[in-house]
Structure 1
Amino acid sequence: MKIGDNKLFILSVCLNVVFLLLGTAFVIKKGGVSWVMSKVAPTAAEVQKPPYYFDKTSQFDILPQKEGAIVFVGDSLTDGVEWSELFANSNIINRGINKVTTQGILEMVSSIADDSPSKIFLMVGTNDLDQSVENETTKNNYKNIIEEIQKKSPATKIYIQSMLPINNELNGSKVSSETIVELNTYLKNLSSDYDNCEFIDLYPHFQVNGQMNTDYTNDGTHLNGQGYLLWKEQIQDFVNG
């Protein structure tokens, strides 16, 4: 290989590394550029749903149907504990998915409602904020989630649980406490617009000066055992009632 050809080859390799990330690859030759492969970039919804989402939803699809269950629905905070053991109640099932957004919940909630649960406890939205999803999109998704449940299973009691605070120093997130409080205020007002839907404000119990109390978290976002015990304490009357 001549020196000039070698330089072109190295340049081709370097540029392919960059452009493969964008979904396009090419080869540089003397006298021009040859395009050899391209693919369509993933949609925004696909980017928001990691492989774990599809792993979990496929598991949900094969599990036995359980009508009249109490279902916990949400992201990693919901996914992170064994609710049936925490409440010593075998009628509770967990439909939490790590990193899920409101869009992901909207796409799976119909199958949950098909089983006519007695109660649904919903908490989701942190990943929307982390991924800079437009607030209006998050709000509309919440409305559509509630309406989909009520269309499929009107007798199901829906509990909208407020988003929890985060601790910016621990997790490095730039999501502000004001943004979380604003969304929680919207959720409170939204819940009042629907029959058989109730808002549970968990936020004040977990925050200190707008930040997640470090007694309840190790990373600033997720809960430790004491955090889940506090969560249980705040909702146990709704679960058992």
Structure 2
Amino acid sequence: MNFPLSRLFLFSFGLVILFSSCSEEKKESVQTETKAEKEEVASDEKIILFFGNSLTAGYGIEQDLAFPGLIQDRLDSLGKDYKVINGGLSGETTAGGLSRIDWFLEDEPSIFILELGGNDGLRGIQLAETKKNLEAIIDKVQTKYPSTKIILAGMQIPPNMGIEYTQEFQAIYPKVAEEKDVELIPFLLQDVGGIKELNLPDGIHPTEEGHIIVAETVWEILKEKV
């Protein structure tokens, strides 16, 4: 589902925040926290790894209230023996994700949800490069852990880089999902992106209420795999 034009302008207002909020201090903090999470995983628990940028990290809200944390709550309520690891990092690009994925694959994830690419689009990175990096991340997971179920979260961007670039960017995700035979969430921010009351003042990052909707979008795909 495409954004209505009026929502695209709202959506674009704060988009630069998606990649400008990253810093080395933040990166070290996220990796330290994630390492602690990994150490807490019991031997009999299966891992669900969310690997993405500030959307996954829950920029601007408590991490437990971001959609990966809400997925953990849902799993717990259903008595499912899974541990969710939030591998989100504000400002992350597909190239950055490719450079750090090996660290997250020390333990085998039962399910791997890949949410990257939005920052590439906002920076106008060549689409072929974004596609190549997404495929390379998936290849690393599939090669090391062939039984891991992979879900790719699709993303859309406003037409700041031109309509052609915007449309081709959106088309990357179904192409990668088909070529790599992985599940696709068509648009992670369905019914949230561009809606003022569901996003923080920056116009891009979901509020707590927005994350509830995102979690439902993810769950529609994830529930068949747990």
Match of 1:216 in 2: 198
Query: Gapped runs of 5+ residues in structure 1?
Result: 1-46, 169-173
Query: Gapped runs of 5+ residues in structure 2?
Result: 1-19, 77-82
Letter in 2 for 1:53: K
Q: Which moved more, 1:59-68 or 1:197-206?
A: 59-68
TM-score by length of 1: 0.66
Q: Are 1:206 and 2:191 an aligned pair?
A: yes
Match of 1:77 in 2: 55
Q: Are 1:182 and 2:157 an aligned pair?
A: no
Instruction: Give the one of 43, 57, 60 matched to 2:34.
Output: 60
Percent identity of paired positions between Structure 1 and Structure 2: 24
TM-score by length of 2: 0.70
Higher relative contact order (CA 8 A, sep 6+): 2
Q: Which has the larger radius of gyration?
A: 1
Instruction: Give the one of 214, 224, 228 matched to 2:211.
Output: 228
Write the distance in 2 (CA, Å) between the matches of 1:57 and 1:98: 12
Please state which structure has a larger fraction of its residues in strand: 1
Give per-residue Cα distances to partners, 1:128-184, cap 9 Å, x unaligned. Answer: 223332222211111101101111111111110111455x8xxxxx35576444223
Match of 1:191 in 2: 177
Change over 3 Å in CA distance of 1:205–1:48 after alignment to 2: closer
Give per-residue Cα distances to partners, 1:172-218, cap 9 Å, x unaligned. Answer: xx3557644422312111111123x11111268337xxx72223213
Runs of 4+ in 1 over 3 A off after TM superposition: 58-63, 174-181
Letter in 1 for 2:87: R
Change over 3 Å in CA distance of 1:176–1:78 after alignment to 2: farther
Match of 1:86 in 2: 70
Write the distance in 2 (CA, Å) between the matches of 1:70 and 1:177: 35
Please state which structure has a larger fraction of its residues in helix: 2
Change over 3 Å in CA distance of 1:132–1:184 after alignment to 2: closer
Change over 3 Å in CA distance of 1:214–1:107 after alignment to 2: same
1:113-192 matches, within 5 Å, as 113-165=105-157, 174-175=160-161, 179-192=165-178
